[in-house]
Structure 1
Amino acid sequence: MTAPSRRVLGTACETLAAADPALARAYDELGIPEWRVGEPCYAALCRLISYQQLSTTAAGRIWERTQAMFGEVTPEAVLAADPEDIRACGMSRPKVRHMISIAEAMTTGRLDLERVCTSDLDFARKELVSVKGIGPWTAELFLLYSVGAMDAFPVGDVGLMEAHKLLLKVETRMEIKEFTRHAECWRPYRGVAAHLLWGWINDRRAKAAQPSPQA
């Protein structure tokens, strides 16, 4: 997958900045965000599943062990493996079941990622979430990273809501429903807004973690 061009992202950021003061501040401080890019493949879905409800560090270690076990994480390899061996990498039982469910859907043709990549966004969403193990959050992130859908949007992502709160300099972040309604004003660039918010808060955390200069 190729990320949207900087020209396209710049146009989107200008539009978002005009629609939302929080995004205007993020764009002013961060500039055009780096677009996260992934391959539209089975392994990308499994990686997203492995990262659910875990810290980035812990999930990264689990995914590294999973990759080391398989060499290449493919539907055929997962279906041929002993589920307990996959669990030994650190995957929970539900996550292993989800990996198997998605592998079965792909080998039978119920899930066709090439079709997902070339379909309109609504159809792509429906095909992804029709498979057990792919929830809305996973589907939206796959559409963002692996398909490059500029209006894909992971509803309920705590990092996005926290970044928006901090940018507005308010005490309490929006509830999920309120935040989802608010994000409607970002269409058709909700995915770009997500990258702006993630990029801004990650940059903020990185600067906070830097040691203070010696006096």
Structure 2
Amino acid sequence: MGLTAEQLQRSLDAIAGMEPVIERRLAEIGYPEPRIRERGYQTLLRTIVGQQVSVAAAASIWAKLENAVGCDLVPEAVAAAPDDLLRSAGLSRQKASYAKSLAEHVASGSIDFANLPTDDEEAIAQMTAIKGIGRWSAEIYLLFAEGRGDIWPAGDLAVQIEMGVLFGLPERPSERETRRMAAPWSPHRGAAAVFAWHAYGTRLSGEKASKLPV
């Protein structure tokens, strides 16, 4: 499971004690809600299915996959499924290859989501060996499904944008700069990422509301 509300509050309080700008923004918008995903291979499979499609479309494809391959989409069944069957459920050729790569890794035992390495970088390396799983997807999984408290997805666009806004930078910081800025916050960087998304979403909602006619 992901970081609990108590963990988020404790970590953000620690960061706020180091960063006045975070302390001020936290006082303005409050603590973020936990972001929790189910632990296991299906969470990553859902990530693959949901890439570049709407939530409704992803749900429809998932239902079709279950009808075609079997309920619960066990890895052995997905790995053995013909490409045409996966594509008939709505997966693109590329997504079908990603889904099969993930299922094959799990079915063969080359990755065990119940026993990922405790070292974050080692866990990320195992996950990114799967076709179609990049660093961002691996980091999001470790943060939301395993609650690893020091995961910092510095390549995330919204995180970069909000770091620039929070610290008054003239332009969006690069991934390297975003990583450098958060280094002093270890081991609390996972909570900082959740807060950055919270601040980003709150700010965008406020901007949209301010443009509505009175």
Q: Tell me the TM-score normalised to structure 1 length.
A: 0.84
In 2 relative to 1, CA 199–74 (structure 1 residues): closer, same or farther, beyond 3 Å? farther
Unaligned ranges ≥5, structure 2:
67-71
Aligned to 1:141: 140
1:132 aligns with 2:131: yes
Q: 1:26: Cα distance to partner?
A: 3.3
Q: Is the 8 A contact 2:49 2:61 kept in 1?
A: no
**How many angstroms does 1:13 deviate by?**
0.5
Distance in 1, matches of 2:92 and 2:16, equals 41
**Equivalence for 2:11:** 12
Match of 1:42, as an amino acid?
Y
Judge which range, 95-104 or 22-31, deviates more.
22-31
Number of aligned residues: 209
Partner Cα separation in structure 1 for residue 90 and residue 160 of structure 2: 29
Alignment partner, residue 60 of structure 1? 55
Q: Deviations over 1:58-81 (max 9, x none)?
A: 342342122111333432342243
Q: Is the 8 A contact 1:22 1:164 kept in 2?
A: no
CA distance, structure 2, for counterparts of residue 22 and residue 92 of structure 1: 44
CA-to-aligned-CA distance 1:24-64 (integer Å, 9 cap, x gap): 33322222211211111222102223444x3xxx3423421
TM-superposed CA distance for 1:212, in Å, is 6.8
With normalisation by structure 2, the TM-score equals: 0.84
The answer to whether the 8 Å contact 2:75/2:106 transfers is: yes
2:89 paired with 1:94: no
Q: Which runs of 5+ in 1 are unaligned?
A: none
Q: Distance in 1 between matches of 2:54 and 2:95?
A: 12
Deviation at 1:84, TM superposition (A): 3.4
Cα offset, 1:131, TM superposition: 2.8
Runs (4+) of structure 1 exceeding 6 A deviation are 211-214
* Amino acid paired to 2:97: R
**3-state SS of 1:113 partner:** coil
Match of 1:173? 172
Does the Cα contact within 8 Å between 1:151 and 1:190 map onto a contact in 2?
Answer: yes
Q: Residues of 2 paired with 1:92 and 1:23: CA distance?
A: 42
The percentage of counterpart residues that share the same residue type is: 30
2:69 counterpart residue number: none
